[in-house]
């Protein structure tokens, strides 16, 4: 058994969760925040049999896409120690960060 931890942008969450449900997968959804852009993310905890890891990763690849976004730096008043305000800059966001861990025991109580 495996635990798939998938961290995705909020914009991709609906399509991903609908695809997982349609494929018969259960998951736990946790709201999280990214550290660099401080934007909303969703972390999904998905427990699956070893043979199902590939199909779940395929759903993640299909529903979580990369895109570019303009990042606005934070004000020095909000970030002590920041001496200047850099200009807005473009960053690539989206996709998914995925961890697959072995599970030694699983129980649904």
In a domain? residue 109: no
Domain assignment present for residue 53? The answer is yes
Domain of 32: which CATH number? 3.30.70.120
Average pLDDT of the chain, as a whole number: 83
Of 34, 27, 26, 29, which Cα lies nearest the Cα of 9?
34
Segments forming the whole domain that contains residue 11: 2-102
Q: What pTM, to 2 d.p., does this model score?
A: 0.75
Phi, psi of 15, rounded to the nearest 5 degrees: -60, -40
Instruction: Note the pLDDT tens digit of each residue in 42-87.
Output: 999 999 999 999 999 999 999 998 777 666 665 555 555 555 556 7
């Amino acid at each position: 058994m495996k635990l798939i931890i998938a961290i995705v942008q909020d914009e991709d969450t609906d399509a991903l969760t609908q695809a997982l449900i349609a494929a018969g997968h259960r998951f736990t959804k946790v709201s999280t925040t990214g550290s660099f852009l401080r934007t909303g993310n969703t972390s999904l905890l998905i427990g699956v049999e070893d043979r199902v890891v590939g199909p779940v990763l395929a759903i993640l690849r299909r529903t979580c896409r990369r895109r570019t976004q303009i990042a606005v730096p934070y004000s020095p008043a909000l970030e002590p120690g920041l001496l200047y305000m850099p200009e807005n800059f473009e960053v690539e966001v989206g996709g998914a960060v995925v961890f697959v861990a072995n599970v030694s025991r699983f129980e649904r109580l």
